Chains A and B, each alone.
Chain A
Amino acid sequence: MSLIEVNNVCKAYRINKRGKGIPGMMANLVAPKYEKKQAVKDVSFQIEKGDMVGFIGPNGAGKSTTIKMLSGILYPDQGEIVVNGFVPYKQRKEYVGSIGVVFGQKSQLQWDLPVIDSFELLKAIYRIPQEKYTKNLDRFVQMLDMGSFLQQPVRQLSLGQRMRADIVAALLHSPEIVFFDEPTIGVDVVGKETIRSFIKELNEQDNVTMLFTTHDMQDIEKVCDKLIVIDKGEKIYDGSLLGIRERYGTTRQLDVEFVDMPIVSPIANVEVVDLDVLDGRKKRFVFENQKVQINDLMNHLLQNYHIRDISISEPEIESIIRKIYNGEVMTR
C-alpha cells in the first residue's frame, strides 16, 4: 500500500451557463441553464513516502480539484482516496493535522495581524510543543530569510513575502505530507529560487512527501523527480522526469557555426533554420532522433562544409510539455 492511493476518482461541477447582458440575465432568472463539467475523470495514481511529485496540466485540467480532494476539502463523486491510512473527506478533522497545504492563490494568514501572530495561532491549533515550534520557526525563518518582516501585518507584505510566510505556516507542525498548489505564482526570479531550494531541502532532509502543482516548468525541473500530467481531467502521463524526455522528447537540434557563408543543400528529414546571428553563419538543424542518425548527419556536415563550432541540445521540458498540451504528440 502506497502512502497516497487514488483510485478511479471522478468529480463533476454544475456550471451556470448564462447569456450575455440584460436579456441573458432575465432568461437566467426564469429558467437557469446548467452544464455539467467533468473536472476530474477516472484518475488513479500512487505516491510513495518521500516522493517529490510534480503535478502539472494546463489551466482547468483538474489539478486544484484533485489537490482539494486529497486534502479533504471536496468530496469525490466516485472512486476512493486513501492517504496515510485516512480517507480525507470522511475523516477530515483527524486527517488534516498530519498534512500541510499551500494554496498559492489563497492565504491562510490573518490579514490584520502580524505574521508572527498567525504562526502563534497555528501553534495553538495544531498543539505544537514549544520546543518543536521554536526549532521549526527558527530554521524556516533563516532558510527563507524572513526575519525582516515577521512583525509586519500581513496586509502590508509584498506577494513574495506573503508566499514565504504562507509556506512556513503550512509547515510549522512538521507535516509528513505537503501539497503545494502553485507556490511560486507571482513570485520574482530570486524568490522562486529561494522557495525551490527550500522545498527541495525539506524533501531531502526530512523525507517529507510532496505533491506540487505549477505552471513554471523550471520549478518542476529543479525540484521534482516524478511527474504526473493531467489534461481535461484525465491522467496522461505518470512517471519519472527523465522518462517524459525519452518518451516524448525525441526531437534533437544541432547548432552549427560555419566558417564562411554556406549554401546548405536540403537533407532528408532535417529542418534547417537560419539563426539571425553571426551574419547568418550559424544554422540550426532540427530532426527526430528515430529518423536521422546523429552520426550520419555530423559526418555529412563535416565532410561537406567548413565548420568552426558545433553543439547539440535536447529539448527543454517546457517545450515537450507545450507539445503535450497542444496535442502535438500522442500520449497514448
Chain B
Amino acid sequence: MRLAPYLAYFKKSFLNRSAYRFDHLMGILSTCLRMFIFWEIYKALYGGRQQVDGITMSMVTTNFILSMGMEAAFYVDDFFMPHRINNGSIATELLRPMSFKGRMIAENMGNAAFHLCFRFGPAFVIACFLMGIQLPASPKMFVMFLVSGILGYGVLWTISFAVQMLAFWLVNVWSVVTIKNVFINVLSGTMIPLWFMPDWMEGVLHVTPFSSIYFTPVQIYLGQLTIGEIALKCGVQMFWIVVLYLVGDVLWRRGQKKLVVQGG
C-alpha cells in the first residue's frame, strides 16, 4: 500500500483543525473543566480520608488526568461515514484511487495528532500544575503505558468503525452512536474509576472492550499490574481490535453493494 496519499489526508485534517482557533481554545478549556469538576467531586467524596478501599486520592486524580487527557487526544469522528452517506458526498469519496477505510484512519489520526499536541498537551500541563499527578511506577511501565494507550485508541476507533458501518442500512445512526458513547463514558473508567465498581461488574468489564480503552493504560501507568497481567490485558486489547475491525469490514463490504447515493 502506498502511504503518500494517506499522509496527505493526515496532514490535511491536521491543518483543517487549526482553521477554527476559538474552537480549539475552548476545547482546552472544556478538557480542563471536566478534569477539575470530577476532581472536586471525588475530593468531596473522599472527605479528607487518605484512601478508600485501598485507592488513594492521588491515584484517582492521576486516573482522571490520564483518562480524560487520553479522551481529549483520542479523537474519533463517529459521523465520518454516516455524514457522508447522509448527504451523498460518499460518491466523491469513492472516486479516489485509495482505500476509504485507510482514508478514514488517516483523517482520524491527523485529528488525533492535533488534539494530542494542542488539546491534551496544554490541558495536561495545566491539570498537573493544579491537581498534581503521580509519577509513573517505573520508566519501563511508562513505555508499556504508551504502547497500551495506542492499543486503547485502536479499540476506541474500531468500535466506532463498526457502528458507523450501520449507516449503510440505517442512514441516521445518531441514536446508536449515542448509546455507544454512553457505554464508553460509563464503563471505560473515565467518570467512575473501575476500582469503585462492584467486584462482579469489574470482572465482567475486564472482558469487554470498554475497560481496555483508558483503564488498562492507567493501571499500567500506576504499576498495578504484573508483567504477565500486562501481556494478558494488551492481548485483550488486540483481540478486540481484530474482532471489531472484522465486523466493520464485513458490514462495509455488504453495505457498498447496497449503497444508495442520496440527493441527485
Contacts and interface: CB of A to CB of B under 8 A. Distances in A.
Interface of A: 13, 64, 68, 71-75, 92-97, 99, 101, 103, 105-108, 110, 112-113, 117, 120-121, 124-127, 153
A199 to B, nearest CB: 18
28 contacts: A68-B91, A72-B94, A72-B95, A73-B91, A74-B261, A75-B256, A75-B259, A93-B97, A93-B99, A95-B97, A96-B94, A96-B96, A105-B263, A105-B264, A106-B92, A107-B92, A108-B92, A108-B95, A110-B12, A110-B16, A113-B15, A113-B19, A120-B8, A121-B8, A124-B8, A126-B5, A127-B2, A127-B4
B96 A125 contact: yes
A309 to B, nearest CB: 46
Can you list the 7 inter-chain pairs with the closest CB atoms, starting with the nearest?
A124-B8, A97-B97, A108-B92, A125-B5, A112-B19, A73-B94, A105-B264
Interface centre among B2, B89, B261 (most CB of A within 10 A): B261
Given A112-B16, A121-B8, A124-B4, 12 more contacts: A13-B260, A72-B94, A75-B257, A75-B259, A92-B94, A96-B95, A106-B89, A106-B264, A112-B19, A121-B12, A125-B5, A126-B97
Contacts of A117: 12, 15
Contacts of A71: 95
Q: How large is the interface on B (under 10, 10 to 19, 20 to 34, 35 or more residues)?
A: 20 to 34
Interface of B: 2, 4-5, 7-9, 12, 15-16, 19, 88-92, 94-99, 256-257, 259-261, 263-264
A127 to B, nearest CB: 7
Contacts of A153: 19
Contacts of A127: 2, 4-5
Nearest to B263: A105
Contacts of A101: 92, 95
Contacts of A73: 90-91, 94-95, 259, 261
B106 to A, nearest CB: 11
